[in-house]
Amino acid sequence: MKKEISWIIWVSFLIMSLIGFGFIQGAVQEDAAYQQAERSQNINMALERLISELKDIETGIRGYIITGNYSYLEPYNSSLPNINKYDLMLENLIIDPTQTKNLPRLIKLTKKRLRISALSLKLMQTKGKDAAFNQVSTGDGKLVMDAIRAHVAKMQSRENYLAHAAKKKSIDAKKLQRMVYAIGFVIMAALQALAFYRMNQEINQRQMAQKTLEELNESLEIRILEKTREVTELNETLELKVEERTAQLNAVNKELETFSYSVSHDLRSPLRSISGFSQALIRLKNDQLDEEAQDFLNRILNNAQRMGLLIDDLLKLSRLSRGSLQKEPVNLSVLVKDSLDELMLQEQSRQVKVTIEPDLIATADKQLIDAALQNLINNAWKYTSKNEIAEISFGSRMSNDKQAFYIQDNGAGFNMKYAHKLFGAFQRLHAMEEFSGNGIGLATVQRIIHRHGGEVWAEAEEGKGATFYFTL
Amino acid sequence: MPQTKVILLVEDNPDDERLTLMGFRENRILNEIVVARDGVEAINYLEGKGDYADRLGGATSPQLIVLDLKLPKVDGIEVLKHIRQSEHNQYTPVVILTSSTEERDIVESYQLGVNAYVQKPIDFMDFTEAVKHLGMFWLLLNQAPNDALKGPLTSA
């Protein structure tokens, strides 16, 4: 489209150039014709005057010869210098090659005629009237004069032809010019019509394209609105679902609470009976029991008490799941040091080498994280009890771009084969006789760490020690 | 020796009842002990209704009420509310003796005006010890306002 319009503009420009060129050409031709006409007129006039002068000379000579009166020679005397003047004039005026070739003959003939006249005059003055008369009568002069006349006629005819040709050329140029005008205007009008049509067409196409674009835009907007509504609806559904789940979770939590409440009551009651009546037997009916019976009763009592402690720990564990976390910056190093100091105070006989990386700070619930650390430290303390020199250290290192804290010992360790069982409630990896404990400590640790959104894991080797890592 | 008054023991578990009674006996607490085995029975006793209709309701308040929380029919908290709203027993010392150590139970009991909250220990010796302290304090040492208030009534 653009190409076509530029093509139309170029053609119009070319046509306008042609018209301009034609106009200039016409003017030039007209000017040339005018100049040629003027020139030819001047030449023809000069030629006629030349002949007229020659005639005057001839007439003068004749009059003088016939009458012998000098006064008749006056035209001859006055005309003679004019001849040269006209010759010069003609020489200046003539530019046509043919005429240029013709001119020398005219001059030659003129000179010949003048010589004849001069001879007649000389004869008249030297030999007398008759000799001169005879010489004139030979007709030589007339012959030359006729030749001159014929030549002049020829030259005039040529001049007329030249003037006519120039005029004709000018007229032709004008005709051509008019034709170029006419055709040029027609073509330009056609081109402009075409350009107008094309531009109109393009404007229409653009308007249509714009309309299509607008429609597309509108449909797009509608689709965006639809999608937005879908997303909003989805969001709402999601929120509803979340609410539902939260309600379900709350319900489950409540059930668990009720469960643990029941456990605390209903598991304790039979235990209290077992322990209470066993003790009553020992205290009140001691004289009726032999040593073995007393031993049995003591075993019953011990186990009842142990189960009581288990229930207490289990209740503590279930309480960890409830209530909100009170997070604050906690200096873990200080908590670890306090726990170890207390243990060392309780068992002063033990040799324990303690290494604590100072001022390890974490954002956590102080009470809960202290409980977790105490559990881990108690474990480390317990499982190094058979070492001559126990080593317990607390520190941190990076694990998957997160700060992981660790408590390391050189104690009994465990087989990594059982690592997955480590954090389950009531799971024990060592015999009761070997190390005491109820197998609930690490479950507690895991629950506390999970409530903080962290991870807990262990690395160990049997007989070489264990390292417990946690992130927060 | 002042006239011994009744201790009301509200307890549904017969073993616990027996152990508590043994505890009282061990500590030579010789008050008459009335046992109610659920919340309704306890309220009936205090109000002189139902099985206790022949008892002059409220004429003699127990010297001490020992109350379990988990009870059939009407639970301990409801019984406690009832006691504190009643005209005759609003000043009677009430001790909660329960296996629950739930924070909400403890808080609710104290809010309702309980005089002591004691957890039933698993160890019988500990239990006897607790009962001993209860008896010492609430039966011998504590000067309850209802003694002064109810004085003219009991002498009548």
Query: Which carries the bigger pLDDT value, residue A452 or residue B150?
Result: A452
CB B89 within 8 A of CB B143: no
Q: Which residue carries 């979340």 as its tokens?
A: A242
Alpha carbon A58 to chain centroid distance? 102
B64-107 pLDDT, tens digit each: 899 998 888 888 999 999 999 988 888 888 999 888 777 788 88
Alpha carbon A102 to chain centroid distance? 82
- What is the average pLDDT across A129-158? 86
Asked if A279 lies within 8 A of B123 by C-beta distance, the reply is yes
CB A451 within 8 A of CB A437: no
- What is the average pLDDT across A173-180? 85
The partner residue sitting opposite A272, judged by closest CB among B100, B102, B120, is B120
- What is the average pLDDT across B41-66? 79
Environment class of A124 (CB within 10 Å of its CB; exposed 0-12, middle 13-18, buried 19+): buried
Is residue B151 scored above 60 in pLDDT? Answer: no
| Res. B154 pLDDT band, cuts 50 70 90 | very low
A269-291 pLDDT, tens digit each: 888 889 888 888 888 888 898 99
Asked if B122 lies within 8 A of A315 by C-beta distance, the reply is no
Which among B12, B98, B122, B128 is the top mutation candidate for probing chain A, defined by the most A β-carbons within 10 Å of its own β-carbon?
A: B122
Is residue A433 scored above 80 in pLDDT? Answer: no
| Diameter over CA atoms, chain B | 44
Query: Which carries the bigger pLDDT value, residue A469 or residue B136?
Result: A469
What is the rounded CA–CA span in Å between residue B55 and residue B70? 26
Alpha carbon A367 to chain centroid distance? 59
- Per-residue confidence (pLDDT) for residue A206, from 0 to 100: 92
The backbone torsions φ and ψ at residue A433, rounded to the nearest 5 degrees and listed phi first, read -65, -30
Is residue A263 scored above 80 in pLDDT? Answer: no
Does the CB of B16 have a partner CB in chain A at under 8 Å? yes
Q: Which of residues 107-136 of B touch A (CB under 8 A)?
A: 120-125, 127
Q: Which two tokens stand for residue A294?
A: 């007393």
Min mean pLDDT across A341-345, B79-83, B132-136 is at B132-136
Is residue A318 scored above 80 in pLDDT? Answer: no
Nearest residue in chain B measured CA to CA from A266: B99
Alpha carbon A92 to chain centroid distance? 77
What is the rounded CA–CA span in Å between residue A176 and residue B19? 144
- Per-residue confidence (pLDDT) for residue B148, from 0 to 100: 44
CA atoms within 13 A on the CB side of A439: 12
Report how far apart the first and last C-alpha atoms of chain A are (Å, whole number): 70
Q: Which amino acid is at A238?
A: L
- What is the average pLDDT across A320-326? 72
- Per-residue confidence (pLDDT) for residue A456, from 0 to 100: 92
- Per-residue confidence (pLDDT) for residue A83, from 0 to 100: 85
- Per-residue confidence (pLDDT) for residue A71, from 0 to 100: 85
Q: Which helix (H) or strand (E) holds B116?
A: strand B116-119
| Res. B59 pLDDT band, cuts 50 70 90 | low
- What is the average pLDDT across A438-460? 86
| Res. A380 pLDDT band, cuts 50 70 90 | very high
- What is the average pLDDT across B129-149? 68
Is residue A355 scored above 90 in pLDDT? Answer: yes
- Per-residue confidence (pLDDT) for residue B150, from 0 to 100: 44
- Per-residue confidence (pLDDT) for residue B155, from 0 to 100: 36
Q: Which residue carries 């503009």 as its tokens?
A: A9
Asked if B102 lies within 8 A of A264 by C-beta distance, the reply is yes
- Per-residue confidence (pLDDT) for residue B58, from 0 to 100: 52
The partner residue sitting opposite A279, judged by closest CB among B16, B70, B124, is B124
- What is the average pLDDT across A201-207? 91
Asked if A273 lies within 8 A of B127 by C-beta distance, the reply is no
A71-114 pLDDT, tens digit each: 888 888 888 888 888 888 888 888 888 888 888 988 899 888 88
- What is the average pLDDT across B136-144? 68
Does the CB of B101 have a partner CB in chain A at under 8 Å? yes
Min mean pLDDT across A99-113, A127-141, B54-68, B101-115 is at B54-68
ipTM above 0.90, yes or no: no
Which among A257, A262, A275, A300 is the top mutation candidate for probing chain B, defined by the most B β-carbons within 10 Å of its own β-carbon?
A: A275
Going from the C-alpha of A218 to that of each of A205, A213, A214, A222, A274, the distances in angstroms are: 20, 8, 6, 6, 82
Does the CB of B146 have a partner CB in chain A at under 8 Å? no
What 3 state SS string does chain A have? CHHHHHHHHHHHHHHHHHHHHHHHHHHHHHHHHHHHHHHHHHHHHHHHHHHHHHHHHHHHHHHHHHHCCHHHHHHHHHHHHHHHHHHHHHHHHCCCHHHHHHHHHHHHHHHHHHHHHHHHHHHHHHCCHHHHHHHHHCCHHHHHHHHHHHHHHHHHHHHHHHHHHHHHHHHHHHHHHHHHHHHHHHHHHHHHHHHHHHHHHHHHHHHHHHHHHHHHHHHHHHHHHHHHHHHHHHHHHHHHHHHHHHHHHHHHHHHHHHHHHHHHHHCHHHHHHHHHHHHHHHHHCHHHCCHHHHHHHHHHHHHHHHHHHHHHHHHHHHHHCCCCCCEEEEEHHHHHHHHHHHHHHHCCCCCEEEEECCCCEEEEEHHHHHHHHHHHHHHHHHHCCCCCCEEEEEEEEEECCEEEEEEEECCCCCCHHHHHHCCCCCCCCCCCCCCCCCCCHHHHHHHHHHHCCCCEEEEEECCCEEEEEECC
Asked if B99 lies within 8 A of A315 by C-beta distance, the reply is no
Is residue A316 scored above 80 in pLDDT? Answer: no
A154-176 pLDDT, tens digit each: 998 998 998 898 889 888 888 88
What strand order describes the sheet that includes A465-470?
A352-356, A390-399, A402-409, A465-470, A456-461
| Res. A428 pLDDT band, cuts 50 70 90 | low
What is the rounded CA–CA span in Å between residue B35 and residue B9? 5
CB A289 within 8 A of CB A282: yes
Q: What angle do CA A413, A416, A422 make, to 5 degrees?
A: 75
Average pLDDT, chain A: 86
Q: Which two tokens stand for residue A458?
A: 């262990």
Is residue B17 scored above 50 in pLDDT? Answer: yes
> Which chain B residues touch A265 with a CB distance below 8 Å?
70, 98-100
A287-310 pLDDT, tens digit each: 898 999 999 999 998 888 888 888
Is residue A353 scored above 80 in pLDDT? Answer: yes
DSSP tag of B74? S
* DSSP bridge pairs for B35: B9
Give the predicted TM-score (pTM) of the model. 0.46
Residues 6 or more apart whose CB falls under 8 angstroms from that of A403 comprise A362, A396, A397, A471, A472
What is the rounded CA–CA span in Å between residue B15 and residue A47? 174
What is the rounded CA–CA span in Å between residue A56 and residue A378? 164
